[in-house]
Amino acid sequence: MNKELKYLAGRAVSGKLDRRAFMGRAAALGASAAMANTLLATSALAQGPIKGGLLKSGLSGGESTNSLDPATFATQVPTNFGNTWGEGLVEMNPAGEVVNRLAESIEASDDAKVWHFKIRQGVEFHNGKTLTPDDVKATLERHSGEDTKSGALGIMRGIESIEASGDTVSITLTTPNADLPYLMTDYHLMIQPNGGVDAPDAGIGTGAYVVEVNEPGVRHGGQKFANYWDDGRGHADQVEIIVLNDATARTAAIQGGQVHMINRVEPKIADLLKRVPGLEVKSVSGRGHYVFIMHTDTAPFDNKDLRLALKYAIDREEMVDKILRGYGSVGNDMPINSAYPLFSDDIEQRTYDPDLARFHYERSGHEGPVLLRTAGAAFSGAVDAAQLYQQSAAAAGIELDVRREPDDGYWSEVWNNKPFCASYWGGRPVQDQMYSVAYLSTADWNDTRFNDSHFDELLLSARGELDQVKRKAIYREMGTIVRDDGGLILPMFNDFIGAVSDTVGGYVNDPNGELMNGFALSKTWLA
């Protein structure tokens, strides 16, 4: 039976046998639907990528205010779409290693202060221009300029100079940093013609797909770029993203076959979705975290006692159980977990303590309700999580006024603008990048308005410390400072949960981010 099933699966994958006919013949041979689907997937992988077709995803994280300027990317839709038409110097692979893309090789000085990136030859932009080191230099300068609003600004501040010579771009740092290649994997750093200075939102890159449709908040689409340099990507003829911020709509779309993959499957339905024929639920743990953030420079959150009261007033275990349904783990008010190689596991775990919350709340002198803003777009289950938080805080005598905001515009109007709201972070490859992007006092995405000069000094010293034991100790101190003094309430680290049709081949779980770290449309194919 196994030989015959494998033969039939091979014919189905190659298009010589209708899929429904294969499933029927497999059932007649005594194979379960699960076994038949597994054989199809295995056969597809064995045959390698299949070219052609329209590959579609339904994603949460899109707004009418989205732009094609990579400097502004903040949510899943622009990031996923950006990965179809744009590329950076390097990427992270699922094993946590830096792999070359537009950089062909990387070399560093012995003190890790000067880095040389040899730029790949023969790569073409979608407008017909050939990629040059000057384009790379201009891109990096645009994201590191004093007037930039780039989300990568925090990691770019450590650059002293950028030079292009021959086929190489050389970066000199103000202080040594052995993690620079990891920092260059930041998804904002898409290389653009002349750095995007002339037209930052033109959507012109070197990626596998040329932008054809750009309707922010509705849909985005791309056509395969005929002169793309890498045969290992861009297998479909066309790719499309449909913006589906509503979880029910996303689930219906994948079940009805309107899309081939969705992100942000709600944990409460993940196990149910696993039973649906023709679908696979993909779940992987990583560095992503769901949070409530307070602006430490804005009343009443400029009061440390009030911040501590709100941190002790949240029941993390209950939230992981009821919101994540086991698809995640408890957080400790710092953005680092065991997924990071230099994580210290001996920092005391903060727990729900209504008595201690009441103590700090009374000492803060605050009176009246505390306004917390949330939305379904903030993270899966964000509204329910805020309501759970409201209940646990009430037991400590703290009145939370939970306000649900519209999904569209949440990331432009609420996040990083209002002083207390729900949010999420996908994490970053290394601690230096996570802290540089979101906690360095000068970072543009410092969404808790955290400003601690000693923390900044520690961050700079950690970059130049090549002794890993000493570096780990520095990061431990930094984590403790954020945990105790910052405006971050981090109750849980989330698993990345998506759903993928079994007609999709080449899908690989990636702990760096959801849907293959945003590269699923470029790396998978229709089997």
Quick one: three-class SS letters along 300-333? CCCCHHHHHHHHHCCCHHHHHHHHHCCCEEECCC
- Write down the CATH superfamily of domain 87-196: Dipeptide-binding Protein; Domain 1 (3.90.76.10)
Alpha helical stretches, state H, 379-467: 382-394, 431-438, 453-464
Residue 16 banded pLDDT, cuts 50, 70, 90: low
Task: pLDDT band for 285, please (50, 70, 90 cuts).
Answer: very high
Measured distance CA(167)–CA(116) in Å, rounded: 10
What's the rounded Cα separation, in Å, for the pair 472 and 340? 11
What pLDDT shows up at residue 524? 97
pLDDT tens, residue by residue, 333-379: 999 999 998 999 999 999 999 999 999 999 999 999 999 999 999 99
CB crowding 412-443: b at 16 or more within 10 Å, else e: bebbbebbbbbbbbbbbbbbbbbbbbbbbeeb
**What superfamily in CATH does domain 289-494 come from?**
Dipeptide-binding Protein; Domain 3 (3.10.105.10)
* Nearest-angstrom CA–CA distance, 402 and 420: 10
pLDDT digits (tens, 9 = 90+) for 213-269: 999 999 999 999 999 999 999 999 999 999 999 999 999 999 999 999 999 999 999
pLDDT of residue 464: 84
Looking at residue 66, what is its pLDDT? 97
Q: Other CB atoms closer than 10 Å to residue 30's CB: what's the count?
A: 9
pLDDT score at 374: 98
| Mean pLDDT computed over 53-58 | 98
Q: What mean pLDDT, rounded, does the chain reach?
A: 93
| Positive/negative CA dihedral, 199, 200, 201, 203 | positive
Question: Using one digit for the tens of pLDDT, what is the confidence trace for 421-433?
Answer: 999 999 999 999 9
Give 76-115 pLDDT, tens digit per residue.
999 999 999 999 999 999 988 999 999 999 999 999 999 9
Region 408-415: mean pLDDT is 95
For residue 125, count CB atoms less than 10 angstroms from its CB and return exposed for 0-12, middle for 13-18, buried for 19 or more.
buried
Instruction: Say if residues 448 and 294 touch (Cβ distance below 8 Å).
Output: yes
Which pLDDT tens digit goes with each residue over 166-186? Answer: 999 999 999 899 899 999 999
End-to-end CA distance of the chain: 23
Spell out the CATH class of 54-62+207-285+496-526.
alpha beta
355: exposed, middle or buried (C-beta count within 10 Å: 0-12, 13-18, 19+)?
exposed
Look at residue 1 and tell me whether its pLDDT is greater than 60: no
- Concatenated DSSP letters of 253-274: HHHTTS-SEES---HHHHHHHT
* Closest listed residue to residue 78, CA positions, set 66, 87, 65: 66
Q: What is the pLDDT of residue 46?
A: 62
Per the CB < 8 A criterion, the answer to whether 115 and 463 are in contact is no
- Confidence at residue 333, expressed as pLDDT on a 0 to 100 scale: 98
11: pLDDT confidence band, cut at 50, 70 and 90?
Answer: low
Q: Where is pLDDT greater, at 135 or 326?
A: 135
Please report the pLDDT score of residue 20 as a whole number. Answer: 64
In this prediction, residue 32 carries a pLDDT of 73
Rounded distance between C-alpha atoms, residue 315 and residue 319, angstroms: 6
Q: What is the pTM of this model?
A: 0.85
More confident: 473 or 38:
473
Q: Which residue has the higher pLDDT, 484 or 13?
A: 484
Would you tell me how many other CB atoms lie within 10 Å of the CB of residue 12? 24
Summarize the confidence of residues 262-282 as an average pLDDT.
95
| Confidence (pLDDT) at 48 | 75
